[in-house]
Amino acid sequence: MKFCSECASPVSLSIPAGDNRPRFVCSSASCATIHYQNPKMVLGSIPVWERDGELKVLLCKRAIEPRYGYWTLPAGFMENNETTAEAAMRETQEEAGANIKLGNLFTLLNVARVHQVHMFYLAELIDLDFAPGEESLDVQMFSEAEIPWDDLAFPTIRTTLELFFADRVKIREGGSYGFHTQDIVRNMRSDIEPTT
């Protein structure tokens, strides 16, 4: 950040009085706005269809960068003036054209290195009337065995799906879905070297 969004004066990185970390602060004495930068919230769902003992998950093939052409759960950035549940439902509709009944929050994943928090809700497809949105090349249903594990877009997607199917085993044994929170520290692919 170079200029104040309130008055257009230059900003400098400094620790404001009463704070404990550097912030961009307006250099104008009459403005002196402190510009806080906070993590972005990514909201999505795990849309499933279960009939006759067979469960499938709806995935979207990304039509945008990053990770163009890789598979993901429908998800995206939360907008102002919406709840996390509303954001998850909106993103599912926008990316997959899917009608869902939203369930409980399932995963909350901190991705501190990219300043994001990813949250995924359990969801049931109301019908099979779905189609790719503008940000998706394709939308398909996958059983656990069919999921393109090597072509998933992000570690948060893999983690969420692994936890989901692990909980499905517990459900078959009389358990229930849990709520899972983790810190994601690995890169998108294991063959990507960390940048310095």
Q: E strand or H helix at 42, and its extent? A: strand 40-51
Are 10 and 65 part of one and the same domain? no
The number of domains in the chain is 2
Is the full-model pTM beyond 0.75? yes
Are 56 and 100 part of one and the same domain? yes
Are 3 and 19 part of one and the same domain? yes
Q: Looking at the domain assignment, is residue 196 inside a domain? A: no
Q: In this structure, are residues 16 and 23 in contact, taking their beta carbons and an 8 Å threshold?
A: yes
Determine how many CB atoms are found less than 10 A away from the CB of residue 86: 14
Are 77 and 146 part of one and the same domain? yes
Are 79 and 174 part of one and the same domain? yes
pLDDT greater than 60 at residue 189:
no
The predicted structure's pLDDT at residue 186? 77
SS3 190: coil
> pLDDT of 53-112, one tens digit each?
899 999 999 999 999 999 999 999 999 999 999 999 999 999 999 999 999 999 999 999
Are 61 and 98 part of one and the same domain? yes
pLDDT greater than 60 at residue 196:
no
Phi and psi angles of residue 124, each rounded to the nearest 5 degrees, phi first: -110, 135
Q: List C-alpha distances in Å: 114 to 8, 33, 42, 49, 185.
A: 27, 25, 12, 32, 10
47 - beta bridge partners? 123
Range of 6's domain? Answer: 1-37
Are 31 and 116 part of one and the same domain? no
Are 75 and 1 part of one and the same domain? no
Q: Looking at the domain assignment, is residue 109 inside a domain? A: yes
- CATH code where residue 19 lies: 2.20.70.10
Are 77 and 114 part of one and the same domain? yes
